[in-house]
Amino acid sequence: MILLLIVIACSSTPQGEGQWVVIWADEFRGASGEPPDPSRWTYDVGGDGWGNGQLEYNTDRVENAAQNGDGVLEIVARKEDYEGNAYTSARIKTDGLFEHGYGRFEARIRVPEGKGLWPAFWMLGAEFNDIGWPWCGEVDILEMKGEAPETIYGTIHGPGYSGSGGISGGLTLDDGAFSDGYHNYAVEIDEGHIAWLVDDVVYQRITAADLPADATWVNDDPFFLILNLAVGGNYVAAPDETTELPATMKVDWVRVSERAW
CATH number of the domain bearing residue 148: 2.60.120.200
Q: What is the pLDDT of residue 260?
A: 87
Decide if 17 is catalytic.
no
Give the C-alpha separation, 159 to 204, whole Å.
21
Looking at residue 261, its pLDDT comes to: 73
Q: Point out the catalytic residue in the list 138, 147, 150, 188.
A: 138
The span from the CA of 42 to the CA of 24, in Å, is 16
Nearest to 138 by CA among 173, 162, 164, 117: 162
Range of the structural domain that residue 193 is part of: 3-260
**Local confidence pLDDT in tens for the 261 residues of the chain:** 233 443 433 333 344 456 999 999 999 999 999 999 999 999 999 999 999 999 999 999 999 999 999 999 999 999 999 999 999 999 999 999 999 999 999 999 999 999 999 999 999 999 999 999 999 999 999 999 999 999 999 999 999 999 999 999 999 999 999 999 999 999 999 999 999 999 999 999 999 999 999 999 999 999 999 999 999 999 999 999 999 999 999 999 999 999 987
Supply the pTM of this predicted model. 0.93
Count other Cβ atoms within 10 Å, centred on residue 240: 10
Active-site option among 56, 74, 99, 143? 143
What per-residue confidence (pLDDT) applies to 132? Answer: 95
C-alpha–C-alpha distance, residues 207 and 109, integer Å: 26
DSSP category for residue 44:
-
Q: Beta-strand (E) ranges in the chain? A: 3-7, 19-26, 42-43, 56-58, 65-67, 73-82, 85-89, 91-93, 103-110, 117-125, 138-144, 151-157, 167-172, 183-190, 193-198, 201-207, 223-231, 247-260
Indicate if 147 belongs to the active site: no
Distance between alpha carbon 26 and the CA centroid of its chain, in Å?
Answer: 15
Q: How many domains does the chain have?
A: 1
pLDDT given at position 18: 65
